[in-house]
Chains A and B, each alone.
Chain A
């Protein structure tokens, strides 16, 4: 099962490292990353494989949200299906 991780926040050193480390601890494999920095704001989207995740997906969502708040970021994890359903026929 794939999930999309969206990270938004003020740009600073170590965002990617922090988010990737957290995901690695949950045994989530990052498949693809795209990121931009616009006017000082950092936006990153990652496709991640969550099938081997060591906690239930709903818990991963909550934990990543908490980690994001500690880092001063918004981190959102959502199953990829919702975007596929809405934007692909």
Chain B
């Protein structure tokens, strides 16, 4: 029999350290839903999603009960809609977004991702239509998430798309102004987007993926934080080892739940995304882990090094615990969704520039950041370009999810509610990037040797 200590340790992690499965996400290919008629296309999409995912939530809830571990989100990702819809004779894809929203509601999932376009090297007609549908689609739907991949290490950065996305983000904020620009929390601009990401808002089901697949995202900043409290003052070798062991345990649980869910749903198991995904709850913060390592406040000097070590140790521990690892895999640093990050930003220690540096060594990028409502589209585009450049040069995924909060200024606060949390409005540089963004064109792909 298992020993009591192990059983109690697991129960303690679940009860007191916020250990949970953050998401089980079903990826569904919609490539067979293409149709010249928009209405027919929408019907095919609705039918396919509701057929494939009809048992997702019920089975997820059964597994939660049987294992006694919360599965916080059940979600769906689909083939990028710009590809599915490109055959449609329509000027706008908002109707498709509404269809996705309706399908998500029928299935009982809280988010559906894949209102997406991959335009790293250039935009097709369908890509432009999708991108330009984003503001209205985000305002007209509740559960649909949009993403646009504007750059990659192999293709460089599509600066025309970057320029357009600055305007799109602004317009999305304006159309959802009564909710503090909530629409922007559902729009991600990527470089090197991955095809099997289970996390929202950036999830989509890549064209290299099978017909239907189940991906799992684990979480557990609280567990890591707690484990580090037992190695106070010890050298980093010990810290790294402690994080690895904890990440191993967390990931094994993700693997177990993923396999069980995929068996019961009758769909192949895709990947476990080895992530530390925080929530606004006290005790579930990535920032507090960095502070436990010895930083007074996250954002001060040393933060990037601390985060680099944390991110690497999480991967090293997790990789042995799962037979397939993928997705974004790393520590997330969304400002509004992390109680410690919110506190650090409010104290003024954590600024946008430091966050940008942190994104060089961790999972994704500038995530859930509120900036003043009067920030120009060009400045937002420039922030996106900076982040895409980091991803492109370092061969990693980077993303920007930024909220130019309508009517808000520095010192204000946006309330997103639920897991999206709340974010203090952070200052941006006031000098113009207008002429830089106005150039357009494409930044060439970087050299992959002579690395310095």
A residues lining the B interface (CB < 8 Å): 4, 6, 31-32, 34, 36, 43, 45, 47, 56-58, 61-62, 76-87
Please give, as numbers and ranges, the residues of chain B lying within 8 Å of A79 by CB-CB distance.
66-68
Per DSSP, chain B at the interface is helix
Please give, as numbers and ranges, the residues of chain B lying within 8 Å of A77 by CB-CB distance.
68
23 residue pairs bridging A and B, Cβ less than 8 Å apart:
A6-B7, A6-B11, A36-B4, A43-B4, A45-B4, A47-B1, A47-B2, A57-B66, A58-B62, A62-B65, A76-B68, A78-B66, A79-B66, A79-B68, A81-B67, A81-B260, A83-B2, A85-B253, A85-B255, A86-B6, A86-B10, A86-B253, A87-B10
Q: Which residue of chain B has its CB nearest to the CB of A1?
A: B66
* Given A4-B7, A6-B11, A87-B6, also A78-B67 (CB < 8 A): yes
Please give, as numbers and ranges, the residues of chain A lying within 8 Å of B69 by CB-CB distance.
82
Choose from A43, A47, A85 the contact partner of B252 (Cβ within 8 Å).
A85
Please give, as numbers and ranges, the residues of chain B lying within 8 Å of A83 by CB-CB distance.
2, 6-7, 10
A82, B68: Cα distance in complex, Å: 9
Q: How far is the CB of B253 from chain A (nearest CB, A)?
A: 6
A84 x B2 contact (CB < 8 A): yes
A85, B253: Cα distance in complex, Å: 6
B256 x A45 contact (CB < 8 A): no
Q: How far is the CB of B109 from chain A (nearest CB, A)?
A: 19
Please give, as numbers and ranges, the residues of chain B lying within 8 Å of A31 by CB-CB distance.
1
Q: How far is the CB of B18 from chain A (nearest CB, A)?
A: 16
A4, B14: Cα distance in complex, Å: 15
Other 16 A-B pairs with CB < 8 A, given A34-B4, A43-B4, A77-B68: A6-B7, A32-B1, A57-B62, A61-B66, A61-B68, A76-B68, A79-B66, A81-B260, A82-B67, A82-B253, A83-B2, A85-B252, A85-B256, A86-B6, A87-B2, A87-B10
* Given A61-B68, A81-B67, also A86-B252 (CB < 8 A): yes
Q: Which residue of chain B has its CB nearest to the CB of A83?
A: B2
Q: Which residue of chain B has its CB nearest to the CB of A76?
A: B68
Choose from B1, B11, B260 the contact partner of A76 (Cβ within 8 Å).
B11
A42, B30: Cα distance in complex, Å: 54
Chain B: interface size category: 20 to 34
Please give, as numbers and ranges, the residues of chain B lying within 8 Å of A85 by CB-CB distance.
252-253, 255-256
A24, B260: Cα distance in complex, Å: 27
What is the total of A-B residue contacts with beta carbons within 8 Å? Answer: 64
Please give, as numbers and ranges, the residues of chain B lying within 8 Å of A34 by CB-CB distance.
1, 4
Choose from B7, B9, B62, B66 the contact partner of A45 (Cβ within 8 Å).
B7
Binary per-residue interface labels of chain B (126-157) against chain A in the complex, 1 for a CB within 8 Å, 0 otherwise: 00000000000000000000000000000000
B68 x A78 contact (CB < 8 A): yes
A86, B255: Cα distance in complex, Å: 10
Q: How far is the CB of B24 from chain A (nearest CB, A)?
A: 15
Q: Which residue of chain A has its CB nearest to the CB of B250?
A: A86
Q: Which residue of chain A has its CB nearest to the CB of B64?
A: A58
Q: Which residue of chain A has its CB nearest to the CB of B61?
A: A58
Please give, as numbers and ranges, the residues of chain A lying within 8 Å of B432 by CB-CB distance.
none
Please give, as numbers and ranges, the residues of chain B lying within 8 Å of A56 by CB-CB distance.
62
Chain B 223-267 interface residues, beta-carbon cutoff 8 Å to A? 249, 252-253, 255-256, 260
Please give, as numbers and ranges, the residues of chain B lying within 8 Å of A58 by CB-CB distance.
61-62, 65-66
Q: How far is the CB of B101 from chain A (nearest CB, A)?
A: 29
A21, B126: Cα distance in complex, Å: 65
A32, B12: Cα distance in complex, Å: 22
A77, B68: Cα distance in complex, Å: 7
Binary per-residue interface labels of chain B (24-63) against chain A in the complex, 1 for a CB within 8 Å, 0 otherwise: 0000000000000000000000000000000000000110
Please give, as numbers and ranges, the residues of chain B lying within 8 Å of A81 by CB-CB distance.
67, 256, 260
A63, B194: Cα distance in complex, Å: 42
Q: How far is the CB of A43 from chain B (nearest CB, A)?
A: 8
* Given A76-B11, A86-B10, also A61-B65 (CB < 8 A): yes
A61, B68: Cα distance in complex, Å: 9
Please give, as numbers and ranges, the residues of chain B lying within 8 Å of A45 by CB-CB distance.
4, 7
Please give, as numbers and ranges, the residues of chain A lying within 8 Å of B7 by CB-CB distance.
4, 6, 45, 83
**Which residue, A56, A76, A87, has most C-beta atoms of chain B within 10 A?**
A87
A87 x B249 contact (CB < 8 A): yes
Q: How far is the CB of A49 from chain B (nearest CB, A)?
A: 12
A53, B6: Cα distance in complex, Å: 25
Chain B 58-112 interface residues, beta-carbon cutoff 8 Å to A? 61-62, 65-69
A14, B281: Cα distance in complex, Å: 39
Please give, as numbers and ranges, the residues of chain B lying within 8 Å of A61 by CB-CB distance.
65-66, 68
Q: Which residue of chain B has its CB nearest to the CB of A82?
A: B67
Please give, as numbers and ranges, the residues of chain B lying within 8 Å of A62 by CB-CB distance.
65
**Which residue, A32, A47, A78, has most C-beta atoms of chain B within 10 A?**
A78
Q: How far is the CB of B261 from chain A (nearest CB, A)?
A: 13
Closest 3 pairs (CB-CB, A-B): A78-B68, A58-B65, A87-B6
